Amino acid sequence: MSVRFPRIAPSEITPREVFLSRRALLAGALASGASSLLRAADAPAPPSGATPGRLQYTRNAQLSVSETPNKLAEIAGYNNFYEFGTDKDDPARNAGTLHTSPWAVTIDGEAEVKGRFTLEDVIQPHPLEERIYRFRCVEAWSMVIPWVGFPLADLLARFKPTSKAKFVGFTTLYDPKQMPGQRAPVLQWPYVEALRMDEAMHPLTLMVVGLYGQVLPNQDGAPLRLMAPWKYGFKNIKSIVKISFLEKAPRTTWNIAAPEEYGFFANVNPQVDHPRWSQATERRIGGALLSSRRPTLMFNGYAEQVAGLYRGMDLKRYF
Ligand SMILES: Nc1nc2c(c(=O)[nH]1)N[C@H]1C(S)=C(S)[C@@H](COP(=O)(O)O)O[C@H]1N2
Ligand SMILES: [Mo]
């Protein structure tokens, strides 16, 4: 499948001042669906009756799987977010110390438009969609998750990457006061991840801001996280504060921690086992105990859309 470049007119690449006035306009237009996340600081409060944190979005059925989504309690109660502890129930208990507003995102590297932008500047030009995606952790468990977000490709295009930009790097917030897990040297902090440019521009690759129609719970990577659904969970970096356009592939957190176990690509592949366990099957979280084991699908079931990105590559070598 060829990678479609989004049709974004040059006028869409607006200078910061225009973003700011547009933000004020949008704050009014968002009306009852406005969330505190998307509302400018000076905007009127949502009318009473509106649920705080509720997002406005359209359903993208075409890019959604038809499997039944996991319950919110499962998705927000069984997490990997080592900045808040290494047990699956640590993030839900500890992520309350993360302050997601105000939030800034820095854009740097090989792009014409760079700088430090507010979260509102980053998100507001983009219509939000709900997409129900399969999610597969490298630890051989899986879920089905109704994310709310927008294509990463649309965001990247606004910053006009130069022809030198071959990779996109992402960095999580580093603040041990808010993220107590960063006081322990379990990983190299801050958490960093990256995609090849064609992976980043793929229409399935989502910038996620919500879950089940609501602003993301902190433990799931608020206020902004990545979701490339054909890759193992660890590629999908949470609480992003920096996006970098890069000439060369950077090192990535789990690859630094254990390079023989976690490659750069991290494509879900039932034929390439982790050195310490099989990837042939997975346990669906929340499923009935005996029936919850199922075969893992090539590229997590997205082979038809993404296999072309890796044509000719030895996936045992580039794992
Ligand atoms: N910053 C950061 N991002 C991260 C992680 C992390 O520890 N820190 N864990 C990764 C792993 S291993 C997985 S499986 C997913 C889990 O996302 P979820 O908790 O929303 O299901 O987040 C990924 N992104
Ligand atoms: Mo994971």
State CA 153 to chain mean position distance. 12
Question: How far away, in angstroms, is 179 Cα from ligand 1 center?
Answer: 14
From 172, 234, 240, the mutation candidate for ligand 1 (largest count of ligand atoms within 8 A of CB) is 234
pLDDT on residue 52: 75
State the DSSP string of 17-39. Answer: HHHHHHHHHHHHHTGGG--TTTS
For residues 118 and 173, the answer to whether their CB atoms sit within 8 Å is no
**11 alpha carbon – ligand 2 mean position (Å):** 39
Strand 281-284, strand 141-151: pairing:
parallel
Ligand 1: residue whose CA is nearest its atom 11: 234
Between the CA of 50 and the centroid of ligand 2 the distance, in Å, is: 35
Within 124-235, strands assigned E span 129-136, 141-151, 167-172, 192-196, 206-211, 214-215, 225-227
Nearest CA owner, ligand 1 atom 4: 237
Ligand 1-lining residues (CB < 6 angstroms) = 79-83, 137, 172, 191, 220-221, 233-234, 236-239
Predicted pLDDT at 25: 35
CA of 73 to the centre of ligand 1 (A): 16
**Structure token digits, residue 49:** 């009756």
Positive or negative: CA dihedral 278, 132, 173, 266:
positive
From the CA of 257, the nearest ligand is 1
Per-residue pLDDT of the chain (319 residues; tens, 9 = 90+): 333 333 333 334 444 433 434 443 333 333 333 333 333 344 445 455 667 799 999 999 999 999 999 999 999 999 999 999 999 999 999 999 999 999 999 999 999 999 999 999 999 999 999 999 999 999 999 999 999 999 999 999 999 999 999 999 999 999 999 999 999 999 999 999 999 999 999 999 999 999 999 999 999 999 999 999 999 999 999 999 999 999 999 999 999 999 999 999 999 999 999 999 999 999 999 977 767 899 999 999 999 999 999 999 999 999 9
CA–CA dist 175, 34 (Å, integer) = 28
In sequence order, what DSSP letters do the residues of 129-142 get, joined into one string? Answer: EEEEEEEE-TTSEE
Q: Which stretch of DSSP H or E encloses residue 246?
A: strand 240-246
- Ligand 1 test: best mutation among 238, 239, 255, most atoms within 8 Å of CB? 238
Spacing, Cα 274 to ligand 2 middle (Å): 13
pTM value is 0.87
